[in-house]
Each structure stands twice: as structure tokens, then as C-alpha cells.
């Protein structure tokens, strides 16, 4: 049998895909960055004053008074930037020419704004060779709230997420990470990548309606199924779990840790480590259901023991017995963890004013491919040449 011919090396999956990003702040730019990380040529169209996130601290500053937002840099890697006043007919025509040459549009304007400018889906798709047009908004195009403004905290509240976040006796709490924005960005990028092959092959354009509210409810599968299955509202439990115990955070002598004893064997190991092996036979704690029913009492007993030694001691002992556990880190501690260095999660990129700056790279490892680190977040309007470049390639 003749030897098998060598297979061609793989490239980034979205190489050659052109994306126009008409988006600002978080959800749309995050979706655009994910596409750029996977190889797409993403052109960010900004107003002359720039994406409003450019004004968010913290800033890098130089001796000439220049400033660049680290927040902006965190969601705009691997893109190019042009500026356009969409109320100026000539500049609007340039943006339209970009869209005509694009494969994808990502936008998160309030519904109706781009339609009035002639950049809505109906006008853009008419006569187009096939485009994926993704609209990210608070509530989506079919919602009774379609004209209402939405920010992440509003969406977290309306989704039910805040009702299950926080301590049992406290008020609802917002997630510290803007999960409404970033979940919508993930869904948008995922669906764009999924639809592209069909659209490019068929020439049939498609609009993606990406409501932040629906996306956040979409990832709340355990809570919605709990409600439908039991007829009861899911409750706030702090760091505890409605179906497992001990499965929560605790305080050691010098810091916090989490323990996840998801079955009877792991529970027995926890009881042994903390010096309370007799609890395994306590009628309150024999089965998982027993432990959940009495988890406040159980947490109190374990907490008293865990507070007597330093966190590292408990983590060492628990890990030695195969119990899932970990420290409750600050972000500084998380970024300094040996795991981050071992997986290559953080790299450095040049950005305006700040120079070489750390960035969290695309976190999925693709065998044979390095994370794309072509450019840091762009300076405002730094790539005006892209209009002629795309127009020339498209006409050719």
C-alpha cells in the first residue's frame, strides 16, 4: 500500500472572512473579537469620537497626554478601525461599500437605528451575494420591549439570574462579571460561525436576532428546569448548591476555599480530612439528599473545623484524597496561578500608548495552531486604507 500523502496544515477557521463591526461597548465587540481570534478580518466602524468604551478607565497614558483604555483593549484585539460619521452621506457611502464587500455584519445599535441609515438588514441583504447579519440587542426584534434600552444589570435582573445570586437572607446580587453582555456575544459569534458555510455556499443571506435576555435565560437551564419540574422558585443559596452538599465556599484561617463533594465517597473523604469521620453515619448526613436538607447545619460544623488551619493545608489534604477543591482567588491571584502560565492563557500585545500589554487569548486550544496575536486593539481610525482595499479585492 502506498504511503498516505501528507495532509495540508490547518489554518485559522475564519481566515478570509470579512466582518464589519458596527458595535460598541461589550456584547457586539466581544463577538467581533471572537471572530477575529478565529482568523476573520474584522473592521470596527466607530463614530469620530470613538466607541464609548474608549473612555472607560483604567487608562494607559503617555507624556504627550495620550490615553488608551485597558477595558477597550480587552474586547478589541485583532481588529482594524475606521471612523465614520453615519450622518454624512459620503462617509455613509464608504461604510455601505464595506458592508457590500463583507461576509458578516455584527451590530448592537438600538433596533431601527441602522434601518433609518440604510444599513439595516433588508437594505444590506438586497442584492448581496450572501451575508450573515447579526443584531445583538437587549430584548430582540419580536419583543414587546424592543424599543427599551438595556444594560447588563437590567438584563441580569429580568432574566432571573439575580434572584438566585447572593446569600439566602440578603438582597439579590448582580454577577460581578457582565454575563448578560458576554453570553450574548458568545451566542452571536457561535451562530455566525455555524451559519457562514451555508450562506457562502447558497448565496442566501440570513439575519441573526440575538437578544441578551433570551441568551441569559438560555444558559440558566438548571434553574428553568427546576422551576418547571417542581413548580417552586429556585432560591438564593450563596455559594451552596440545591442538590449537592457539601458543595460551597468556606473560610480557612487565612483565606477562602471551595469544596465540591458531589457524591458519598467524596463526602466521606471530606469528613475524614476535617477530623469529623463520625458525621458520615449521622442520620442528617448519610445520603446526598440528607445532606442537602441539612446543609446549613453541615456547613456550620465543617466551617468550625476549616477555620482552624490555613487554606493551603486543607487544599493539600483534600486534593490528596481526590476531593475537588480550590482557592477563592482574586483576579490578581487567578492570573498569577501556575495554571495560567502552563496553558498559555495570557500573552502580550502592543496597543497604542500602553505598548506591550497582557491579554487573555482565545481560551480554546486548537491542535497545531497558536492563538492569533496579529495586532492589539486598534487606535481610533487607524486603518482608513481598508475601504479601498476591500473595494479593490471585491471588484476583482
**Higher pLDDT residue, 343 or 66?**
343
Q: Which CATH number fits domain 247-334: 3.40.50.300, 3.40.190.80, 3.30.1540.10, 3.40.50.1370?
A: 3.30.1540.10
pLDDT of 394 strictly over 60 = no
Active site residue 115: no
β-bridge mates for residue 325, sequence order: 259
- The confidence score (pLDDT) of residue 4 equals 72
Rounded CA gap, 157 and 172, in Å?
9
Number of neighbours of residue 167 by Cβ within 10 angstroms: 12
- The confidence score (pLDDT) of residue 63 equals 84
pLDDT of 351 strictly over 80 = yes
CA-based nearest residue to 32, from 184, 216, 198: 184
pLDDT band at 9 (very low <50, low <70, confident <90, very high): confident
Extract the C-alpha cell encoding 60. 494607559
For residues 145 and 139, the answer to whether their CB atoms sit within 8 Å is yes
Q: 259 φ, ψ to 5°? A: -130, 135
pLDDT of 38 strictly over 90 = yes
pLDDT band at 66 (very low <50, low <70, confident <90, very high): confident
Tell me how far CA of residue 341 lies from CA of 150, 220, 326, 333, in angstroms. Answer: 37, 31, 17, 12
How confident is the model over 291-337, as pLDDT tens digits? 999 999 999 999 999 999 999 999 999 999 999 999 999 999 999 99
Domain boundaries, the chain: 18-221+342-394, 247-334
Do 18-221+342-394 and 247-334 show the same overall fold?
no
Is residue 87 classed exposed, middle or buried when 0-12, 13-18 and 19+ CB atoms within 10 A define those classes?
exposed
> CB neighbours of 228 closer than 8 A, spacing ≥ 6?
none
For residues 120 and 114, the answer to whether their CB atoms sit within 8 Å is yes
Rounded CA gap, 147 and 287, in Å?
51
pLDDT of 250 strictly over 80 = yes
pLDDT of 395 strictly over 80 = no
pLDDT band at 237 (very low <50, low <70, confident <90, very high): very high
C-alpha angle with apex 170: 152 to 232, nearest 5 degrees? 80
Is residue 212 classed exposed, middle or buried when 0-12, 13-18 and 19+ CB atoms within 10 A define those classes?
buried
DSSP string for residues in 43-76: EEEE-TT--GGGGPSPEEE-TTS-EEEHHHHHT-
Is residue 288 classed exposed, middle or buried when 0-12, 13-18 and 19+ CB atoms within 10 A define those classes?
middle
> CB neighbours of 363 closer than 8 A, spacing ≥ 6?
345
β-bridge mates for residue 344, sequence order: none
Is residue 229 classed as helix, strand or coil in its secondary structure?
A: helix
Rounded CA gap, 389 and 150, in Å?
36
pLDDT of 396 strictly over 50 = no
pLDDT of 344 strictly over 60 = yes
Which residue of the set 37, 51, 103, 181 is catalytic? Answer: 181
- The confidence score (pLDDT) of residue 2 equals 65
% pLDDT > 70, the chain: 97
CATH class of this structure's domain 18-221+342-394? alpha beta
Amino acid at each position: 500500500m502506498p504511503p498516505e500523502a501528507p495532509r495540508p496544515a490547518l489554518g485559522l477557521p475564519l481566515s478570509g472572512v470579512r466582518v464589519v463591526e458596527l458595535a460598541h461597548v461589550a456584547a457586539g465587540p466581544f463577538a467581533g473579537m471572537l471572530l477575529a481570534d478565529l482568523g476573520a478580518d474584522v473592521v470596527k466602524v466607530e463614530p469620530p469620537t470613538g466607541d464609548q468604551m474608549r473612555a472607560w478607565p483604567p487608562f494607559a497614558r503617555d507624556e504627550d497626554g495620550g490615553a488608551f483604555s485597558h477595558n477597550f483593549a480587552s474586547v478589541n484585539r485583532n481588529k482594524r478601525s475606521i471612523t465614520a460619521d453615519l450622518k454624512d452621506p459620503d462617509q455613509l457611502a464608504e461604510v455601505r461599500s464595506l458592508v457590500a464587500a463583507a461576509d458578516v455584519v455584527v451590530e448592537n445599535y438600538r433596533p431601527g437605528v441602522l434601518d433609518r441609515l440604510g444599513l439595516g438588514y433588508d437594505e444590506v441583504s438586497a442584492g448581496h451575494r450572501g451575508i450573515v447579519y447579526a443584531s445583538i440587542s437587549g430584548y430582540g426584534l419580536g419583543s414587546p420591549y424592543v424599543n427599551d434600552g438595556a444594560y447588563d444589570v437590567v438584563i441580569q435582573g429580568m432574566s432571573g439570574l439575580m434572584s438566585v445570586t447572593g446569600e439566602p437572607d440578603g438582597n439579590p446580587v448582580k454577577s460581578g462579571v457582565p454575563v448578560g453582555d458576554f453570553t450574548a456575544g458568545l451566542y452571536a459569534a457561535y451562530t455566525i460561525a455555524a451559519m457562514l458555510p451555508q450562506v457562502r455556499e447558497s448565496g442566501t443571506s440570513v439575519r441573526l436576532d440575538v437578544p441578551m435576555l433570551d441568551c441569559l435565560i438560555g444558559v440558566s437551564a438548571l434553574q428553568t428546569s427546576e422551576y418547571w419540574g417542581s413548580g417552586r422558585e429556585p432560591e438564593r443559596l450563596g455559594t451552596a448548591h440545591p442538590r449537592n452538599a457539601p458543595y460551597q465556599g468556606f473560610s480557612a484561617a487565612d483565606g477562602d476555599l471551595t469544596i465540591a463533594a458531589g457524591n458519598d465517597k467524596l463526602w466521606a473523604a471530606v469528613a475524614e480530612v476535617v477530623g469529623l469521620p463520625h458525621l458520615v453515619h449521622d442520620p442528617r448526613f448519610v445520603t446526598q439528599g440528607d445532606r442537602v436538607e441539612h446543609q446549613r447545619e453541615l456547613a456550620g460544623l465543617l466551617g468550625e473545623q476549616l477555620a482552624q488551619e490555613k487554606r493551603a493545608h486543607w487544599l493539600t489534604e483534600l486534593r490528596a484524597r481526590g476531593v475537588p477543591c480550590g482557592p477563592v482567588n482574586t483576579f490578581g491571584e487567578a492570573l498569577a496561578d501556575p495554571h495560567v502560565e502552563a496553558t498559555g492563557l495570557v500573552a502580550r500585545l502592543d496597543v497604542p500608548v500602553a505598548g506591550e500589554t497582557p491579554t487573555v487569548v482565545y481560551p480554546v486550544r486548537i491542535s497545531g495552531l497558536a492563538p492569533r496575536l496579529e495586532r492589539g486593539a486598534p487606535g481610533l481610525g487607524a486603518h482608513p486604507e481598508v475601504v479601498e482595499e476591500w473595494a479593490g479585492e471585491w471588484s476583482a
